[in-house]
Amino acid sequence: MAEKNGSQPSNLKRESRPASQTPPPPWRTEGLPQGQAPKPRPRWTAAVVLLVGYLLFFGLLTMQDRLGGPQAVSYTEFKAQVADKNVAEVFSRGDTIQGVLKKAVPMPGEQGRTYQKFTTERPTFAADDLLTQLAASQATVRATPLVQERGLFTNLLISVAPFLLLALFYVWIFKRQKSMMSGGLFGGGTSKPVEPGSIRVTFEDVAGIDEVEAEINEVVDYLRNPDKYQRLGARAPKGVLLAGAPGTGKTLLARATAGEANVPFFRASASEFIEMIVGVGASRVRELFAEARKVAPAIIFIDEIDTIGRTRAGAVAFGGHDEREQTLNQILTEMDGFSGHEGVIVLAATNRPDVLDPALLRPGRFDRTIMVHPPDRKGRAAILRVHTRKVPLAPDANLDQLAASTPGMTGADLANLVNEAALLAARRRQDAVSQRDFTDALEKVQLGAARNVVMPEDQRRRTAYHEAGHALLGMLQPGADPVRKVSIIPRGRALGVTLSTPETDRYGYDVNYLRGRIVGALGGMAAEQEVFNAVTNGAESDLETVTRIARAMVGRWGMSDRVGKLSALPAEGDPRMAGTSDAVLNAVDEEVHRMTDECYAEARRLLHEHRDKLDAIVKQLLLRETLEEPEVYAAAGMTDPESAKTGAATD
Give me the percent of the chain exceeding a pLDDT of 70: 77
Rounded to an integer, the average pLDDT of 73-77 is 82
68: pLDDT confidence band, cut at 50, 70 and 90? low
State the pLDDT at residue 596: 93
- What does the alpha-carbon distance between residue 244 and residue 318 come to, in Å, rounded to a whole number? 25
Rounded to an integer, the average pLDDT of 6-25 is 43
CA atoms within 13 A on the CB side of 281: 25
What is the per-residue DSSP string for 485-506?
Answer: EEE-S-BTTBS-EEEE--SS--
447: pLDDT confidence band, cut at 50, 70 and 90? confident
Rounded to the nearest integer, the mean pLDDT of the chain is 77
Q: Could you read off the pLDDT of 260-285 as tens digits, one per residue?
A: 888 888 887 777 676 555 556 677 78
Q: In what order do the strands lie in the sheet with 626-628?
A: 497-500, 483-487, 626-628
Whether residue 648 is predicted with pLDDT greater than 70 in this model: the reply is no
34 contacts: CB under 8 Å, gap ≥ 6: none
Say whether 351 sits in a helix, a strand or coil: coil
Burial 265-291 (b: 16+ CB within 10 A, else e): bbbbbbebbbbeeeebbbbbbbbbbeb
409: pLDDT confidence band, cut at 50, 70 and 90? confident
- What does the alpha-carbon distance between residue 373 and residue 354 come to, in Å, rounded to a whole number? 15
Whether residue 623 is predicted with pLDDT greater than 80 in this model: the reply is yes
- What does the alpha-carbon distance between residue 142 and residue 403 come to, in Å, rounded to a whole number? 102
Whether residue 636 is predicted with pLDDT greater than 50 in this model: the reply is yes
Q: Which of 88, 85, 83, 81 is nearest to 106 (CA)?
A: 81
- What does the alpha-carbon distance between residue 339 and residue 261 come to, in Å, rounded to a whole number? 20
- What does the alpha-carbon distance between residue 263 and residue 250 come to, in Å, rounded to a whole number? 18
State the pLDDT at residue 21: 47
Q: Could you read off the pLDDT of 357-374 as tens digits, one per residue?
A: 888 888 878 888 888 888
Q: Tell me whether residue 198 is exposed, middle or buried, using C-beta atoms within 10 angstroms of its C-beta: 0 to 12, 13 to 18, 19 or more.
A: exposed
Cis peptide before 297, with omega less than 30 degrees from 0?
yes
Whether residue 228 is predicted with pLDDT greater than 50 in this model: the reply is yes
State the pLDDT at residue 238: 79
Q: Could you read off the pLDDT of 93-138 as tens digits, one per residue?
A: 777 888 888 888 888 877 777 887 888 888 877 777 777 778 777 7
Q: Which of 45, 343, 64, 399 is nearest to 207 (CA)?
A: 399
HEC-encoded secondary structure of 582-600: HHHHHHHHHHHHHHHHHHH
- What does the alpha-carbon distance between residue 183 and residue 280 come to, in Å, rounded to a whole number? 12
Whether residue 154 is predicted with pLDDT greater than 60 in this model: the reply is yes
Give me the percent of the chain exceeding a pLDDT of 90: 12
Q: The pTM is what?
A: 0.63
- What does the alpha-carbon distance between residue 499 and residue 520 come to, in Å, rounded to a whole number? 11
- What does the alpha-carbon distance between residue 312 and residue 303 come to, in Å, rounded to a whole number? 19
Q: Could you read off the pLDDT of 548-562 as tens digits, one per residue?
A: 999 999 988 889 888
Amino acid at 280: V
Amino acid at 340: G
Q: Tell me whether residue 591 is exposed, middle or buried, using C-beta atoms within 10 angstroms of its C-beta: 0 to 12, 13 to 18, 19 or more.
A: buried
Higher pLDDT, residue 146 or 456: 456
* Helix extents (H) in 365-456: 377-387, 399-404, 411-427, 435-447
Rounded to an integer, the average pLDDT of 242-247 is 87
CA angle 452, 540, 608 (to 5 degrees): 95
Tell me the CA distances in angstroms from 548 to 248, 496, 514, 569, one per residue in order: 24, 21, 11, 12
Whether residue 320 is predicted with pLDDT greater than 60 in this model: the reply is no
Rounded to an integer, the average pLDDT of 187-206 is 57
Say whether 172 sits in a helix, a strand or coil: helix
Whether residue 43 is predicted with pLDDT greater than 60 in this model: the reply is no
Higher pLDDT, residue 626 or 201: 626
How many Cβ atoms are within 10 Å of 73's Cβ, its own excluded? 21
Amino acid at 413: D
State the pLDDT at residue 650: 33
Residues annotated as catalytic (active site), given as ranges: 467
Candidate from 262-276, 315-329, 406-420, 492-506 with smallest mean pLDDT: 315-329
Q: Could you read off the pLDDT of 466-501 as tens digits, one per residue?
A: 999 999 998 888 877 888 888 888 887 788 888 888
- What does the alpha-carbon distance between residue 215 and residue 221 come to, in Å, rounded to a whole number? 11
CB 495 within 8 A of CB 480: no
Whether residue 625 is predicted with pLDDT greater than 50 in this model: the reply is yes
Q: How far is CA 415 from the centre of its chain?
A: 23
State the pLDDT at residue 53: 66
Q: In the chain, helix, strand, coil percent, each to 5?
A: 50, 10, 35
Q: In what order do the strands lie in the sheet with 368-372?
A: 265-269, 298-303, 344-350, 239-244, 368-372
Whether residue 35 is predicted with pLDDT greater than 60 in this model: the reply is no
342: pLDDT confidence band, cut at 50, 70 and 90? low
649: pLDDT confidence band, cut at 50, 70 and 90? very low
Q: How far is CA 395 from the centre of its chain?
A: 43
State the pLDDT at residue 522: 92
Residues in the chain: 651
Give me the domains of the chain, ranges plus CATH numbers: 70-148 (3.30.720.210), 196-372 (3.40.50.300), 377-447 (1.10.8.60), 457-650 (1.20.58.760)
Tell me the CA distances in angstroms from 39 to 25, 195, 465, 644, one per residue in order: 10, 43, 86, 87
CB 369 within 8 A of CB 241: yes
Q: How far is CA 578 from the centre of its chain?
A: 29
Higher pLDDT, residue 536 or 56: 536
Higher pLDDT, residue 624 or 650: 624
CA atoms within 13 A on the CB side of 443: 22
Question: Which secondary structure element, helix H or strand E, spans residue 258, and what is its range?
Answer: helix 250-261
Rounded to an integer, the average pLDDT of 381-407 is 88
State the pLDDT at residue 423: 93
595: pLDDT confidence band, cut at 50, 70 and 90? very high
State the pLDDT at residue 592: 93
Rounded to an integer, the average pLDDT of 9-25 is 43
